[in-house]
Amino acid sequence: MTMSRPIRMGMVGGGRDAFIGAVHRMAASLDGSMELVAGALSSTPEKSIASGLDLGLPEDRAYPTWQAMLESEAARPEDDRMEAVVIVTPNHVHHPVAKAAMETGFHVVCDKPLVMDAQQADELVAVRKQTGRVFAVTYNYTGYPMVKEARHLVRSGAIGEVRKVIVEYNQGWLATPLETTGQKQAGWRTDPAMAGAGGAMGDIGSHAENLVSYVTGLGIAEFTSDVTTHVEGRSIDDDTSVLLRFDNGARGILTASQVCPGCLNDLRIRVWGSTGGLVWHQEDPNTLKQTSLEGPDRIHHRADASLSESANAMVRLPGGHPEAFIEAFANIYRGAAAAIRDGRDDGASYDYPTVEDGARGVKFIGAVIQAGGEGWTAFREH
């Protein structure tokens, strides 16, 4: 494979102490999809500059603020200037940066959930349309080859008409009031002012929603939900469950919890149709189980000769040489970088999540949180 030119990216957020910024950088560089040329890596100007220098940025591109970065980079010669802004800040900063970046002429790669509310989401969708920029949202779990194979199998009718979906995303790291200890990740993720309306629902439930949509292509028609905060003093949900009804009549369960001790990053999806089923688990991402009416089960492995083109296109290593989180994340970057090179914001063709996917996710989070707790029946037999 001839290596394509890396896209020049400037990062907002992701400085010292951040977690996801480093993941983005590894994902961007794994295949040489993008290279870091500029940064406004912290909301504190001194820390922002210091973090940029840490990462080897030249002094004049380790910016104190994202506003400075947009302005200065726009002034650089075209073949040298930053091309895409990568946004890895807490959620409340996504909207202003993304909007300004597009309006200044830059493409955008933005972490999820896209923004704080439906209004912000609609605005970004509109701005993206006006500016014609490429906009990718890093719902990274859809980057896994076996998720793409699941999508292929569902879409090609291998399990018949979809009837039931169970998608779960359980973690345990917020089972205690970690945010009271000064832990930075817990701090902003449990603060509605920075995270938005959803806690568990926003942070990880949004991935679950996106995964269902990606694999099945079904729209959610209605739902009933339970939105709970188990840890005392916390002002955001840490455990949310939703019953789903899809457009085609299929039923679903979506649950997202951060208070399940022992669950690390336990995202899993099961889809059953009229003639078969599929099971995939993020912590064991290199296999996909396919079931049928009669048995036996089939275990597909990443890189099996039998995989679909869409899955195999995302494979770097032979079977048995496991790929994992960073590689899946890198697949999003690969698609976004190719779209940027070609100047076409076309998530379907380049296989990355779009601003419209992000907007739908934000609206779903909001609707679930708002509706949580309606329509319950008492039961007192004990």
Q: Interaction with a copy of itself in 13-52: which residues (CB under 8 A)?
A: 19, 22-23, 26, 29-32
Among 47, 301, 310, 346, binds a copy of itself (CB under 8 A): 301
Q: How many CA atoms lie within 13 A of 28 on its CB side?
A: 27
Q: Report angle CA 174, 139, 179 to the nearest 5 degrees.
A: 20
Query: How far is Cα 124 from Cα 107, in angstroms, rounded to an integer?
Result: 12
Closest to a copy of itself by CB, 31 vs 73, is 31
Q: Interaction with a copy of itself in 147-186: which residues (CB under 8 A)?
A: 159, 163-164, 166, 168, 171-173, 175-176
According to DSSP, residue 307 is labeled S
In contact, 292 and 300? CB cutoff 8 Å: no
Among 76, 253, 313, 346, binds a copy of itself (CB under 8 A): 253
Q: Interaction with a copy of itself in 308-327: which residues (CB under 8 A)?
A: 316-327
Residue 360 C-beta: closest distance to a copy of itself, Å? 5
Residue 125 C-beta: closest distance to a copy of itself, Å? 11
If one counts every other C-beta atom within 10 angstroms of the C-beta of residue 111, the result is 23
Query: How far is Cα 30 from Cα 328, in angstroms, rounded to an integer?
Result: 11
From residue 202 to residue 241, the character string flagging contacts with a copy of itself as x (rule: CB under 8 A) and all else as - is: -----------x-----xxxxxxxx-x-x--------x-x
Token output for 215? 């694999």
Backbone angles phi, psi at 224, to 5 degrees: -135, 145
Token output for 341? 């090179």
Closest to a copy of itself by CB, 75 vs 295, is 295
Residue 50 C-beta: closest distance to a copy of itself, Å? 10
Query: How far is Cα 173 from Cα 361, in angstroms, rounded to an integer?
Result: 23
Among 190, 286, 331, 354, binds a copy of itself (CB under 8 A): 286
From residue 93 to residue 132, the character string flagging contacts with a copy of itself as x (rule: CB under 8 A) and all else as - is: ----------------------------------------
According to DSSP, residue 56 is labeled T
